[in-house]
Structure formats: structure tokens, C-alpha cells
Amino acid sequence: MIVKAAGQGIAEAVRRTSGKGPPPVHLWNPPYCGEMDLRIARDGTWFHEGTPIGRAPLVRLFASILKLEEGKYFLVTPVEKLGIVVEDAPFIAVDFRVERPGPDQVVIFTTNVEDETAAGPDTPIRVERRGPEGEPAPYVMVRRGLEARIDRKSFYRLVEIGTTEGQDGAEWFGLRSGGTFFPVIPAAELPG
């Protein structure tokens, strides 16, 4: 079932409940109201009824009420929950900066919806290997189970600050942030 005009109702409900900071969606458990014709494409574009949403503030508003439950994505308010489709990760990490370069460095990512997340034990970086060539697909946790896929240009920049460390009896090339080492690829697989 497609719920028409749900976007307007959701936006209004969030405006009424929003204070400073993101809404406490992890505390909301409203009844399921059906599916909304909203899709987040692999490239991070948000579509409603097949049309890209061109208003960045509306996308940021929807992103602030996104919730992941048992592998499914929902937009939630205190009074309703609507299912949506997410093709890969709901966000894209489009840039990063490094604070305190060196062994105590912190890598802080910025997403396409202007969220920031500092990689660390509670917001890890993970890398999947895809396709016959084992191409890396890197992700970073943003909040409450919601990840951002790290875009290609940022990933290439991350590789430049990577390091090789031993972990679980093997040498790994990876990244260090927030006192944690995140393995990316076995050091034996690094090119020449």
C-alpha cells in the first residue's frame, strides 16, 4: 500500500517534536502504517514516487527520522511508521577530515545529508569484498545501525593514511581512528 501525502504528515510531526539535535527515533515505537513510495538509491539520491527529491532540507528531515528494524528501513514519528526502500546504505560518506593526525587520530566523516560521525569503537568502519575481483565496498556507522557507504574519492584518500598492523595473527592494511584499528585488506594482497 502506498501512503500518499505521508511525507507532509511526517514532516509536520517531526517539526512539532524536534528540539535540539536529532529526534529520538530509537525511543519511538509507533504502529506500522504501510509502505511509502520512497526509495534511497545506491548513489544516495532520495526518490518519492519515482521522482528525485530536490529539496535538500526535506531529505535531511527525512534522514533524521530514519530507523532500521530487523533489516528493514522505516520513517518514524511518535505516531506512525512507514516502510521505505534502501538499495544499499541510507547515506553516503562524501568527505572526511582527520583530527590529531598520528597514532591517536580520529577520522570524522561527513555524509550527503550533513551528518558527521567519528569512526571509533561504537561507529566502526567495515569493508565488504564484492564481485569476482573482490572490490572493496567500505562503510562507516553513522547512528543506531544506519551506515554510510564511503564514496570512492574518500576511500582513495583514506588509503593514503592507512597503516599495516597485526591482527588475529595476520598482517592487515587498514585505518586507525578513535583508538581502534579497522582492517581493510590483508597486507599480503597489497599491490607491489
**What are the C-alpha distances in Å from 52 to residues 7, 13, 39?**
14, 22, 9
Domain housing 69:
6-86
The answer to whether the CB of 48 falls within 8 A of the CB of 59 is no
Domain shared by 41 and 99, yes or no: no
Position with higher pLDDT, 123 vs 188: 123
CA distance 93 to 91: 7
Domain shared by 74 and 157, yes or no: no
Domain boundary, last residue among 28, 53, 86: 86
**Residue 112 falls within a domain, yes or no?**
yes
SS (H, E, C) 153-181: HHHHHHHHCCEEEEECCEEEEEEEECCEE
Domain shared by 63 and 109, yes or no: no
pLDDT in tens, 94-106: 999 999 888 889 9
User: Quick one: which of 123, 136, 129, 133 has its CA closest to 177?
Assistant: 123
Domain boundary, last residue among 59, 86, 113: 86
**Residue 128 falls within a domain, yes or no?**
yes
Question: How confident is the model over 144-172, as a mean pLDDT?
Answer: 92
CATH number reported for the structural domain that contains residue 150 in this entry = 2.30.270.10
**Residue 192 falls within a domain, yes or no?**
no
- Using left for φ > 0, alpha for ψ between -120 and 50, and beta otherwise, residue 100 falls in left
Confidence at 130, pLDDT banded by 50, 70, 90: confident
Domain shared by 32 and 118, yes or no: no
**Residue 1 falls within a domain, yes or no?**
no
Domain shared by 73 and 142, yes or no: no
Domain shared by 68 and 111, yes or no: no
Domain shared by 104 and 67, yes or no: no
**Residue 142 falls within a domain, yes or no?**
yes
The answer to whether the CB of 175 falls within 8 A of the CB of 117 is no
Domain shared by 104 and 68, yes or no: no
Domain shared by 100 and 77, yes or no: no
pTM above 0.75, yes or no: yes
**Residue 191 falls within a domain, yes or no?**
no
pLDDT in tens, 14-65: 555 455 677 999 899 999 999 999 999 999 999 999 999 999 999 999 999 9
Domain shared by 95 and 182, yes or no: yes
CB-based contacts of 92, cutoff 8 Å, min separation 6:
43, 44, 111, 112, 148, 149, 150, 151
Domain shared by 68 and 128, yes or no: no
pLDDT in tens, 73-122: 999 999 999 999 999 999 999 999 999 888 889 999 999 999 999 999 99
Domain shared by 96 and 181, yes or no: yes
